[in-house]
Amino acid sequence: MRFCELHPERGEMAPVSIRRVLISESVDPCCRAILQENGIEVTEKQNMSKDELISQIKDYDGLVVRSATKVTADIIASAGNLKVIGRAGTGVDNVDVDAATKKGIIVMNTPSGNTISAAELTCTLLMSLSRHVPQAAMSMKAENWDRKKFMGAELYGKTLGIVGLGRIGKEVATRMQSFGVRTIGYDPITPTEVSASWGVEQMSLEELWPQCDYITVHTPLMPSTTGLLNDDSFAKCKKGVKVVNCARGGIIDEAALLRALESGQCGGAGLDVFVEEPPKNWPLVKHPNVICCPHLGASTKEAQARCGQDIALQIVDMVKCKALVGAVNAQVLASTFTPESQQWIRLGEAMGRVLKVCSSSKQPYGHLHITTQGDCLKKSAGFLSSAAVVGLLTEGPGNGPNLVNALPLAEETGIKIKKSHSDTKEAAGACMMEVSVNGSIYKALGSVQADVPVLLQLDGSVFRQPIPLSGNLLFFKAAASSQLLPSVTGVLAGAGIEMNYFSASTASDGEQWYCVGMQSLLGDLGSLKSVVKEAAQLAV
């Protein structure tokens, strides 16, 4: 006989509460103004040491950074209230996204805030490499007049290879085409027909390297892009190829680049980013064919204003449940900021909690299988799976996952998640949830009716009346009997508990699940032992 109960806080998907935000770097004043206008207290503290940030971050719900603040795992571990880390710029290389995700903290950036500025700087470096503009300017300041030394080349008719065809890569391509430059590129994500629509012919890297007069990189820094331009790839390029990196230090192997410059295989480099910043590879920086900038890609008034405004508005929209833009570790939440999605999230979490108590909640789960049914849920399996894990793994108030870290925590605990979809018309707009516990299978079917999450079936027991998944619920399993309901209501009455409704299974033989909605939870489930085989209760 199993008698289980669960008393967590209500599992509704409430707006994220952001009351205090720390801005740890120089961000455009509009960021602070927008946050304050929306009732969020803002503190600005620049040039904080790591220890200072660790000691103070516990007092804040949000953190806004640019690129200088390194939000490491130990900083995140000390952030007891932190719910969002906002990077006012492109990329999140300075944030330990995995550590934030495991703690349920949303990490977001402003993917389009500095697009134009970064693209314009890239084009500036390409043109400067062609005409040796910085070197000629420095020569003039040294009171020299040496026209022959700075013989350049036209961009017209040359071929530019663009590695990474996202927002910035696209803007670089369209601008360089105006100089009569042929643009080719590589990107494993952007469809070839999309890049072709703005004049870039896609090909493999092996095909791209030998065709380029110039190469520019616009990818994130990850294992697959680290050292993308190295000794081998330089050897495949035209002799004298010129390269530009305004993306992330490390995409171009700095040691290989220096060797290529010294041998003449590389004719020049424009670098705005470095593996270490400030850089320590001074032989590369000081090479006469290298043009360097101190990470100026987003250093325009317009980009800074745009990034500051974007990150503030993104945080406000998240708090108000209007939208979730720029989240890099909470893609499952992107489609949940609608009233309809909120109802299905509540359903998924509530069903997970029902299965938790009705399967004896202390047992380890083997798998979770979510099957969405009906066209309206075709793209909903992601957040329903996360919501179900929240319900299954929540132990009590403040003790469990959220939609950000649910799936990583499920993987850590050994739960294998499977998602599928059925277009069956008989059960349109429904979610079937199945969990295994020590080899035993437990199933539940739920839906949303009149904006209310309801339970339709539990372990094969089809309820006569859909069960609203709210309030205090008592589930019990027993064989059908004319004395069953009077016996159960007698126990409740003896405990002073008023019954709101009762739903029985449509089956009339064998042991079936029943549900009672109550005004309050039963203090002692043991009082039902003589009446039913199994019992479980929870507050939803």
Identify which of 71, 131, 121, 126 has the alpha carbon closest to the alpha carbon of residue 101.
71
pLDDT at 59: 93
Distance (Å, whole) CA 290 – CA 42: 42
Mutual orientation of helices 381-393 and 339-358 as an angle, nearest 10°? Answer: 40
pLDDT at 413: 87
Q: Check whether the bond before 278 is cis (ω within 30° of 0).
A: yes
pLDDT at 10: 39
pLDDT at 17: 87
What is the per-residue pLDDT across 19-48, written as a single tens digit (0 to 9) for each? 999 999 999 999 999 999 999 999 999 999
Tokens of 119: 């693209």
Distance (Å, whole) CA 385 – CA 368: 8
pLDDT band at 401 (very low <50, low <70, confident <90, very high): confident
| Active-site residue, from 276, 277, 395, 411 | 277
pLDDT at 15: 56
Q: Is 248 annotated in the active site?
A: yes
Distance (Å, whole) CA 324 – CA 311: 11
pLDDT at 436: 92
**Residue 418 or residue 324, greater confidence:** 418
Q: What is the mean pLDDT of the chain?
A: 91
Percentage with pLDDT > 90 across the chain:
70
Average pLDDT over residues 1-13: 46
Average pLDDT over residues 160-181: 97
pLDDT at 25: 94
Q: Is the pLDDT of residue 426 over 90?
A: no
Do 153 and 130 form a contact (C-beta atoms < 8 A)? yes
pLDDT at 334: 66
What is the per-residue pLDDT across 337-364, written as a single tens digit (0 to 9) for each? 666 788 899 999 999 999 998 887 566 8
Identify which of 114, 107, 115 has the alpha carbon closest to the alpha carbon of residue 331.
107
**Residue 510 or residue 12, greater confidence:** 510
The lowest-confidence range among 48-57, 85-94, 394-403 is 394-403
| Active-site residue, from 32, 87, 248, 353 | 248
pLDDT at 526: 87
The lowest-confidence range among 69-73, 157-161, 466-470, 479-483 is 479-483
pLDDT at 339: 66
| Ranges in the chain annotated CATH 3.30.1330.90 | 337-539
What is the per-residue pLDDT across 455-495, written as a single tens digit (0 to 9) for each? 999 998 999 999 999 999 999 999 988 888 899 999 999 99
What is the per-residue pLDDT across 185-228, written as a single tens digit (0 to 9) for each? 999 999 999 999 999 999 999 999 999 999 999 998 889 999 99
CATH number of 115-292: 3.40.50.720
pLDDT at 11: 39
Chain length of the chain: 540
Q: Classify domain 337-539 at the CATH topology level.
A: 60s Ribosomal Protein L30; Chain: A; (3.30.1330)
pLDDT at 211: 98
The lowest-confidence range among 63-77, 251-265, 506-520 is 506-520
pLDDT band at 524 (very low <50, low <70, confident <90, very high): confident
Q: Is 32 annotated in the active site?
A: no
For residue 392, report the phi and psi dihedrals to the nearest 5 degrees.
-70, -35
Tokens of 139: 């020569």
pTM exceeds 0.95:
no
Q: Is the pLDDT of residue 395 over 70?
A: yes
pLDDT band at 336 (very low <50, low <70, confident <90, very high): low
| Active-site residue, from 295, 346, 353, 369 | 295
pLDDT at 379: 80
Domain at 5-113+302-329, CATH homologous superfamily: NAD(P)-binding Rossmann-like Domain (3.40.50.720)
Q: Is the pLDDT of residue 377 over 90?
A: no
pLDDT band at 439 (very low <50, low <70, confident <90, very high): confident
Distance (Å, whole) CA 44 – CA 23: 5
Q: Is the pLDDT of residue 382 over 60?
A: yes
pLDDT at 8: 46
Distance (Å, whole) CA 457 – CA 73: 43
Average pLDDT over residues 295-324: 92
pLDDT at 69: 94
pLDDT at 13: 43
Average pLDDT over residues 262-275: 97
Distance (Å, whole) CA 537 – CA 94: 45
| Ranges in the chain annotated CATH 3.40.50.720 | 5-113+302-329, 115-292
Per DSSP (E only), the strands in 232-373 are: 241-245, 266-271, 290-292, 365-373
> Which letter does DSSP use for residue 16 in this model?
P
pLDDT band at 396 (very low <50, low <70, confident <90, very high): low
pLDDT at 153: 96
Q: Is 277 annotated in the active site?
A: yes
pLDDT at 1: 41
Q: Which single residue is written with the structure tokens 């070197």? A: 135
